[in-house]
Structure 1
Amino acid sequence: MTDADAETGDTAADPRDCLPGDVAAVQDALVSWYEDDHRSFPWRETTDAYEILVSEVMSQQTQLQRVETAWHEFLEQWPTVHDLAAAPRSEVVGFWTGHSLGYNNRARYLHEAAQQVVSEYDGAFPEDPDELEELMGVGPYTANAVASFAFDNGNAVVDTNVKRVLHRAFGVPDDDDAFEVVAGALMPAGESRVWNNAIMELGGVACEKTPKCDEAGCPWRPWCDAYETGDFTAPDVPEQPTFEGSRRQMRGRVVKALSRHGELALDTLGPRVRVDYAPGGEHGREWLRGLVNDLADDGLAEVTERDGETVVRLRE
């Protein structure tokens, strides 16, 4: 701090100043609320890192009800990380598309992460968030979630729900660094598994975009700024791009057709992607070639020229 800062009092506020004086009471209230009653998901009943990673990747922008069915079926087909690592990539991507689990790259990355665990870690997942981030497609949030829920070795999770809770309850400013600091200060040391589950549950069932404070029995009502003032504004929540008719939807249809029919010539594939496909039309060969080239660039498909035709198949 400079002399000028000292004279004017111009010092950066500590985000932890937003917290109530009795942090232990806040912690106990949330954990007790969660342990008394919470939604039951199968990945909350396991500490298997592979099963948790699968759930985390599937849950990215996908409704949990749909994830639950897909998660069970995925693990029936590939019960262990060794099974997934040995599977043909085309089968994994085909499963992903068939269950409408979002971007197909997630299936590819999950498959490659399984191969890394087997080849680099002898089938045993690393337990530290930083080391988990070395796995293909595993970012800071997912790495921390796996470390927390599998090994009780994570940091405080900060997702959209957690930000909304902290902003409303304690007036934490809409700033990523501030959220990280306050979330870390709130989490009881060495209890990342129960704490991260509990605070995400709070955001998912009580402090949604439309809050259900009394209905859900929110345990933080005695300390909550929003509950006291009635001001339930929250940080902006990014909206999911429209899926119907999107390029993402069309890519998914390409993958689904190839996984079902195997290798297809471009003009045979086209009508299976769009009913209005016409080789020379707006949604014709040039448009379709762009889709399959994107999939090839992502390592999901192979495109070859044979006897004057463009032929596409999923990459093994």
Structure 2
Amino acid sequence: MTDGDAGSDDTAPGPLPDDVVAVRDALVSWYETDHRSYPWRETEDPYEILVSEVMSQQTQLDRVVDAWRDFLDRWPTVADLAAADRAAVVAFWSDHSLGYNNRAKYLHEAAQQVRDDYDGDFPTTPEELSELMGVGPYTANAVASFAFNNGDAVVDTNVKRVLYRAFDVPDDDSEFERAAAKLLPDGESRVWNNAIMELGGVACRKKPRCDEEGCPWREWCHAYATGDFTAPDVPTQPEFDGSRRQMRGRVISTLKEYDELGLDELGPRVRVDYAPDGEYGREWLSELLSDLADDGLVEVDGDDEALARLRR
């Protein structure tokens, strides 16, 4: 993704970083390098995508894969589903433990609407897709995004968690929607919505895996810097007193206040029990700084007389 792919205004007032283009590029690059493989991510068929979205509303994605394939083997096109006996569709749903059976009824009726009202061709916008039976705003937007690259920014629970933690977006639906819309690159809803939902599902889970999953937003992330990983769906702060995560956050917060600091100036600001030759001394701090340098967050020059600074 390049500057030319982004919207006309790439500066971000409010909680978002100033360089929105860099934030976008980092996430898309991370997603395209490695992400979970699901068969519905390999198709642009709106029917196949709608089936996956309805199935995943109450079922873990890994469990949806077999059911999705079985469903499409039996009813491979929207016309096949529209012509099917509704009782057979409901029975399939029940046999595969896919949640409320009325979802199967609605999916069958939506297929008939596509056949009868749209001459077998799916509508392409979130607004039109919302007219299909059982298709709410989120599902309509997902189908528009993944099938037609024509959606708005997805704002689900995972995305709210990511925005709240990464950019300190207030816990308010209108604020989440504003921030999500600002981040969405023009004309790239397919890759963007997949990428930000993958970030929430893999790295920024309720119990975060920032370093393990190589989160691409660590350098901007408020939670990563402070060690506070609470979120709207994570109401209690995880235990981190004295943890390496907390110490990393203190290093980042301290270096934000100073151009650079020597180890023995930085150490006491990170731990009150810092002693140059002690358990929590230069060796311990140097290892912590090395980790942060490997993550591209700080720069360190020298050895015992080293100076540490935030990477610009």
TM-score normalized by the length of structure 2: 0.71
Alignment check: 8 A CA contact 1:16 1:181 kept? no
Aligned residue in 2 for 1:182: 179
Aligned residue in 2 for 1:87: 84
Match of 1:29 among 1, 13, 26: 26
Once residues 102 and 61 of structure 1 are traced to their aligned partners in structure 2, the CA distance between those partners, rounded to angstroms, is 6
Q: For 1:185-226, what per-residue CA distance to the aligned partner results, in whole angstroms no more than 9, with x for missing partners?
A: 001011000000000000000000000000000000000000
Once residues 130 and 28 of structure 1 are traced to their aligned partners in structure 2, the CA distance between those partners, rounded to angstroms, is 29
Aligned residue in 2 for 1:8: none
Match of 1:63 among 60, 65, 71: 60
Once residues 228 and 136 of structure 2 are traced to their aligned partners in structure 1, the CA distance between those partners, rounded to angstroms, is 33
Alignment check: 8 A CA contact 2:146 2:189 kept? yes
Match of 1:117 among 110, 114, 117: 114
Equivalent residue runs for 1:169-208 within 5 Å: 169-208=166-205
**1:229 and 2:226 aligned:** yes
Moved over 6 A (4+): none
Match of 1:140 among 130, 137, 142: 137
- Matched residue type, 1:111: H
Equivalent residue runs for 1:262-281 within 5 Å: none
Once residues 236 and 37 of structure 1 are traced to their aligned partners in structure 2, the CA distance between those partners, rounded to angstroms, is 26
Once residues 13 and 51 of structure 2 are traced to their aligned partners in structure 1, the CA distance between those partners, rounded to angstroms, is 34
Give the Å deviation of 1:21.
0.6
Give the Å deviation of 1:97.
0.4
How well do the aligned residues superpose, as a CA RMSD in angstroms? 1.2
Aligned residue in 2 for 1:4: none
Match of 1:130 among 127, 131, 141: 127
Aligned residue in 1 for 2:309: none
Once residues 61 and 167 of structure 1 are traced to their aligned partners in structure 2, the CA distance between those partners, rounded to angstroms, is 24
Specify every segment of 5 or more residues in structure 2 that has no aligned partner in the other structure, as ranges.
1-11, 236-312
After superposition, the Cα gap between the structure-2 partners of 1:16 and 1:123, relative to the gap in structure 1 and judged at 3 Å, is farther
Once residues 93 and 27 of structure 1 are traced to their aligned partners in structure 2, the CA distance between those partners, rounded to angstroms, is 41
- Matched residue type, 1:118: R
- Matched residue type, 1:122: D
Query: Which structure is higher in RCO with an 8 Å CA cutoff and minimum separation 6?
Result: 1
Alignment check: 8 A CA contact 2:157 2:233 kept? no
Once residues 176 and 201 of structure 1 are traced to their aligned partners in structure 2, the CA distance between those partners, rounded to angstroms, is 20
Query: In percent, how many aligned pairs have the same letter?
Result: 76
- Matched residue type, 1:109: Y
Q: Secondary structure at the match of 2:14?
A: helix
Give the Å deviation of 1:90.
0.3
Q: Secondary structure at the match of 1:173?
A: coil
Aligned residue in 2 for 1:213: 210
Once residues 87 and 13 of structure 2 are traced to their aligned partners in structure 1, the CA distance between those partners, rounded to angstroms, is 48
Once residues 88 and 158 of structure 1 are traced to their aligned partners in structure 2, the CA distance between those partners, rounded to angstroms, is 35
**1:166 and 2:163 aligned:** yes
Q: Secondary structure at the match of 1:112?
A: helix
Once residues 214 and 53 of structure 1 are traced to their aligned partners in structure 2, the CA distance between those partners, rounded to angstroms, is 33
Once residues 200 and 178 of structure 2 are traced to their aligned partners in structure 1, the CA distance between those partners, rounded to angstroms, is 18
Aligned residue in 2 for 1:150: 147
After superposition, the Cα gap between the structure-2 partners of 1:80 and 1:16, relative to the gap in structure 1 and judged at 3 Å, is farther
Paired residue total: 224
Give the Å deviation of 1:66.
1.1
Alignment check: 8 A CA contact 2:113 2:132 kept? yes
TM-score normalized by the length of structure 1: 0.70
Once residues 201 and 209 of structure 1 are traced to their aligned partners in structure 2, the CA distance between those partners, rounded to angstroms, is 13
Give the Å deviation of 1:237.
6.5
Aligned residue in 2 for 1:308: none
